[in-house]
Amino acid sequence: MSFLKKMFCSDPARADNFIPALFQESTDACRNPARGWYRIVYFDAGNSPIDQFDQSGLEKGYTLELAVIDIGAFRDRDLTEEGCDHIREILSRYRRVGLQVVLRVVYDHEGKAPEREPFLFGQVQRHMQQVAEILRDFTDVIFVYQGVLVGNWGEMHTSKFLSAGKIRQLTEILSRTCGDGFFHSVRKPVQWRMLHDAGEESLQAKKLGTGLFDDGIFGSETDLGTYGHASKKQAGWTGQWLPEEELEFQEKLCTRVPNGGEALYPESGEVPGLKSAAERLKRMGVTYLNAEYDPAILEHWRRETWTDEGPWQGVDGYTYIGRHLGYRFVLRGAAVCSVKKEKDVCLLSGVLENVGFGGLYEKTSLYLNWREEGGTMHRDLVAEDLSEKNEDRQVEFTARLYRPIGEVSLQMVRDRDGRAIRFANVGAEETGVLLGHFREVTV
């Protein structure tokens, strides 16, 4: 491989004792956290959630669940302590079963927001403050919080409370109460721009924590109004841009924050081919998609197959798309060279590639596990935070090893809870992926 030749030394003295593993990309499901297919579950905060839980998402193997909690019963008053306890109970249940949620708290889940929302904006603000104070205790459970309570289905449209000023006030309550590292998403890129000054879509995006969700992907040329019909120059920073310009905006933004939603069968009936659809989802940085809606386009993908040469050739489109949602890391190669004037030391280097549509959005570290001749085991940190490298797609790492012997493996670990991230390599396990092994040096 040409990139290995550029990376590694040419001195083969110590490299002769290293036997690299076979680095073959897998098509298996990795079942990693904070990415993948989801399904929707509805809850009514006005009633006990005990009988509202449904285990079928776990049984189907989904890694996320969109929990929609309806607070419409409290439209004319603050949430009662009982209502708050119901929300806590819902989130506590997800914590117990170990399933992260995309959360949406709404006044309406039937497309009737004007009938179900409070009359005064002050009541919406008080509800948002109450909700945010609950969410603050469950940031480990919530992957993304969508919306700002209002709009049909909580999707931030068809509401009198969606001016730039009101959206800003509601999101400020969330960010101020829940703190750094809490991801909140808005429905359209133009709404994101209403909240942020020009230029913030790059380096500051992760700190700001605001991503996107698009419930109209492929539905029309503009994703059902997600994008506009004017150029960026014509519309300005807080206007809706042409689809191609909005995609360019998302390509930059969503290396830092997550994007997800629903794919719809196009109104025109002209469904993009599988390769074209995959390229679009990758440009958007899509991390999570509804596994059950729209059934028409999901069934269309099941009938298509990936035709490019490689491990995915012949795989159906639904499987291909599902397994590329979010991040998907493949170890592409590893090699060793000796260090001049240090005969017992060698450098081991390798290359990881993220072949998924999206990125990692939580601090995740890369460790090298190896043993030296005397039997001492080592666990060396070789990349401190892979989420800082989403723009690169490829990650190179190098480590110094002293008189290594036996197997050498690589492991990804999410920092906040120590959860292992599985590689998309044939033979990879929870404990990591094999880079190769060092034979015992004979004198």
Q: Residue 430's pLDDT is what?
A: 85
pLDDT band (50, 70, 90) for residue 10: very low
pLDDT digits (tens, 9 = 90+) for 41-92: 999 999 999 888 877 777 788 889 999 999 999 999 999 999 999 999 999 9
Q: Residue 257's pLDDT is what?
A: 94
Query: What is the token pair recorded at 101?
Result: 């949620």
Q: Residue 431's pLDDT is what?
A: 86
Q: Residue 4's pLDDT is what?
A: 44
Q: Residue 12's pLDDT is what?
A: 46
Section 179-184 average pLDDT = 90
pLDDT digits (tens, 9 = 90+) for 16-33: 789 999 999 999 999 999
Q: Residue 228's pLDDT is what?
A: 98
CB 213 within 8 A of CB 185: yes
pLDDT digits (tens, 9 = 90+) for 86-132: 999 999 999 999 899 999 999 999 999 999 999 999 999 999 999 99
Select from 118, 164, 169, 170 the least CA-distant residue to 148.
170
Instruction: Inform me whether the pLDDT recorded for 205 exceeds 90.
Output: no
Instruction: Inform me whether the pLDDT recorded for 200 exceeds 90.
Output: no
Q: Which domains does the chain have, with CATH numbers?
A: 2-27+328-438 (2.60.40), 36-324 (3.20.20)
Q: Residue 102's pLDDT is what?
A: 98
Q: Residue 59's pLDDT is what?
A: 76
Q: Residue 5's pLDDT is what?
A: 44
243 or 430, which is more confident: 243
Instruction: Inform me whether the pLDDT recorded for 13 exceeds 80.
Output: no
Name the average pLDDT for the chain.
Answer: 92
Q: Which residues on neighbouring strands pair with residue 394, listed in sequence order?
A: 353
How far is the CA of 76 from the CAs of 71, 73, 105, 116, 123, in angstroms? 11, 8, 16, 9, 8
Instruction: Inform me whether the pLDDT recorded for 239 exceeds 80.
Output: yes
Q: Residue 7's pLDDT is what?
A: 45
CB 134 within 8 A of CB 84: yes
pLDDT band (50, 70, 90) for residue 207: low
Query: What is the token pair recorded at 200?
Result: 């913030």
- Residues of the chain with pLDDT > 70: what percent? 94
pLDDT band (50, 70, 90) for residue 295: very high
- Residues of the chain with pLDDT > 90: what percent? 85
Instruction: Inform me whether the pLDDT recorded for 338 exceeds 70.
Output: yes
pLDDT band (50, 70, 90) for residue 15: low
